[in-house]
Amino acid sequence: MTVTSPADLTIHEAVMLLDEGTLSSVALTEAVLERILTSDNDVRAYLTLMPEAALEQAAQADTLRNALRTSGASLPLLGIPLALKDNLSTRGVPTSCGSRILEDYVPPFDATVVQRLKRAGAVLLGKTNLDEFAMGSSTENSAFFPTHNPWHMDCVPGGSSGGSAAAVAAGEALAALGSDTGGSVRQPAAFCGLVGLRPTYGRCSRYGLVAFASSLDQVGPIARDVNDAALLLSVIAGHDAQDSTSLPDAPLDMATALCGHDLRGLRVGVLVDHEGVGVQPAVKRAVLAAVDTLADLGAEMVDVQLPHSEFALAVYYLIAPAEASANLARFDGLRYGYRAAADTLEELYNRTRGEGFGAEVKRRLMLGTYALRAGYYEATYIKAQQARTLIRQDFEAAFAHVDVIVGPTSPVTAFRLGERLADPLQMYLADIFTLPQALAGLPALSLPCGFDEEGLPVGLQLTAPALEETRLLHVAHAYEQATAWHTRRPNLTCSN
C-alpha cells in the first residue's frame, strides 16, 4: 500500500515519523481532520467532533515531545489522533450512547480508559456513532443517523461500534476504542477490514462505560493492524479500583506478542461445527485459506467442537436484555437525560422512556423484563445462566488440547443498509460466532483474511484462554506478517 496521506498511517508508523521529526502531531491531526471534512458527510462516523481541542492537544504533544527528547523519556501515544465510541464517558463532552434519552448528557468525569489514553498522550478527535446503547449489529439503530461502510457506502459497517470501525477504515482516526458486549468490536472490525480485540472480561476497566450488560461489556481497540491493537491494549488494560469486576494486574508481554513469525509447537483448534448457520461461501473460502497459512507457519491444526455454542444466541438474548433491563432503569426522566412533559409520576416514566428509547432498545428491554419476571425467572434467566456455564466448559475442554481456536468472525460480509432491519433474527445472526466468547469472558480478536466478490472484507476470529492476550496477539501477528490483507484500504469516493 502506498500511503498518500498521514491519515492513512498506522500508529506505529506515525510514531516513528514523529520521533524522527519528519512529521508533527499538528500536521498529523490536521491531515486526519481534513479527511473527516472530505469524507464524513458520506461515512457519518462521528456524532461529536472536537477539532479545536484536538489541534490544541496536538500542539501540546509537539512541545512535550521536544522536551522529552532531551530526557530520553516517551509516551506511547503522544500526538496520535484517536476516536472514542460515544458510550465512553468524556468530561465536558456529550456522551449520548446514540440515544435521544441522553442526547444532551455531558458527563462530569472521564472513563478510566479515556484517562489512560490521555495520560499516554493521545489526541482525542471526537465521539463516534453506535447502535443505541450498543444494542445492534449494524449501527442503523442509532437515534441520529446510520453510519456507512467505507468499503461500500451502501453497506453497514457492523455494530454496535460501527462508527469507530468506519472512522478508522476511512482514515478519520488512526485507531479507536469500542465496546464489545456480544461482538461489537470484532464484527465491525471484520466488516471494515480492521483488527478488533475483545480483551478478557475484567482486563480493561468498565468504569465510565455506560452499561448495557454488566457481565458481558468490555472495552476494546479497533486498529489497522495487530501491532496497533497490542499497543492500545497495553495502554488501556490494568486493574482499576473503581470497577469491582476489574481483575488484578496480569502481565501483557507485548515484546513476545509481536516477535517472530514461527508458529511451530502451537496447536490451533479449527472449528468444524459451522455448517447450517448460513456461512457465506466467500467467508468459508477465506477462512480455510487462512487455516492453511497458519499451518504453513508451522502450527499443528486440530479439529475442535464447541457443542453448546448452538445455544449461544438464545442464551445471550436472555442474559443481555435482562441485565439491560436493570441497567437502563436509571433513565427515568428524574436524574439526568431527556425528560418528557407529564402530569403524574407514572406518566413521566412512560412518556420519557417511550419517547427517549428507540425500537430496538424497547424490544430488548421488554425481553429482559419478561425474563426476570416472577414465574419466568427460573425457566428463562436461570436456564440461560446454566447454559452459559456449559459454553464456558466447552472452551475449557477445547483449550486442554489446543492453544488458540480459529474460525470466522461473522458468517457474512457487510450487508446492505436496511436489508435486515425488518428481520431482527437475521440481524442477530450476524453475531453468531462472536457471542460464545463474550458469554465465556474470553479474549478474542478479529483480523482481515480476505475479500468477497464485491470487494468487502472477511474477518478471521482467533480465541485464546482467559488472560492469554499475549498468545492471541502472537498468532494474529504471525498470520498478519505472512499476508497482505491488512495493508489494503478502501477507495473512498465521497460526494464532498
- Domain borders along the chain are 8-263+462-487
In tens, the pLDDT along 385-411 reads: 999 999 999 999 999 999 999 999 999
C-alpha cell belonging to residue 424: 431482527
Active site residue 234: no
CA nearest 432: which of 317, 290, 318? 317
Phi and psi at 408, nearest 5°, equal -70, 150
Superfamily designation of domain 8-263+462-487: Amidase signature (AS) domain (3.90.1300.10)
The catalytic residue among 24, 85, 89, 164 is 85
C-alpha cell belonging to residue 222: 479497533
Grid cell 473460502 is found at: 285
In tens, the pLDDT along 150-176 reads: 999 999 999 999 999 999 999 999 999
- DSSP string for 243-262: -TTPPPP----HHHHTS-S-
Cβ–Cβ under 8 Å, residues 35 and 170? yes
The catalytic residue among 25, 142, 160, 410 is 160
The catalytic residue among 184, 205, 309, 446 is 184
C-alpha to C-alpha distance for 29 and 136, rounded to whole angstroms: 31
Tens digit of pLDDT per residue, the chain (496 long)?
A: 445 799 999 999 999 999 999 999 999 999 999 999 999 999 999 999 999 999 999 999 999 999 998 888 889 999 999 999 999 999 999 999 999 999 999 999 999 999 999 999 999 999 999 999 999 999 999 999 999 999 999 999 999 999 999 999 999 999 999 999 999 999 999 999 999 999 999 999 999 999 999 999 999 999 999 999 999 999 999 999 999 999 998 778 888 889 878 999 999 999 976 655 789 999 999 999 999 999 999 999 999 999 999 999 999 999 999 999 999 999 999 888 899 999 999 999 999 999 999 999 999 999 999 999 888 899 899 999 999 999 999 999 999 999 999 999 999 999 999 999 999 999 999 999 999 999 999 999 999 999 999 999 999 999 999 999 999 999 999 999 999 999 999 998 666 5
In tens, the pLDDT along 27-57 reads: 999 999 999 999 999 999 999 999 999 999 9
Cβ–Cβ under 8 Å, residues 403 and 266? yes
Active site residue 383: no
Q: Which residues, 6+ apart, have CB-to-CB distance to 430 below 8 Å?
A: 137, 138, 158, 187, 410, 411, 412, 415, 420
Active site residue 85: yes
Full-model pTM: 0.96
Cα dihedral 175→137→144→152 (10° resolution)? 70
Measuring CA to CA, how many Å separate 108 from each of 85, 92, 335, 476?
17, 6, 14, 38
Cβ–Cβ under 8 Å, residues 167 and 173? yes
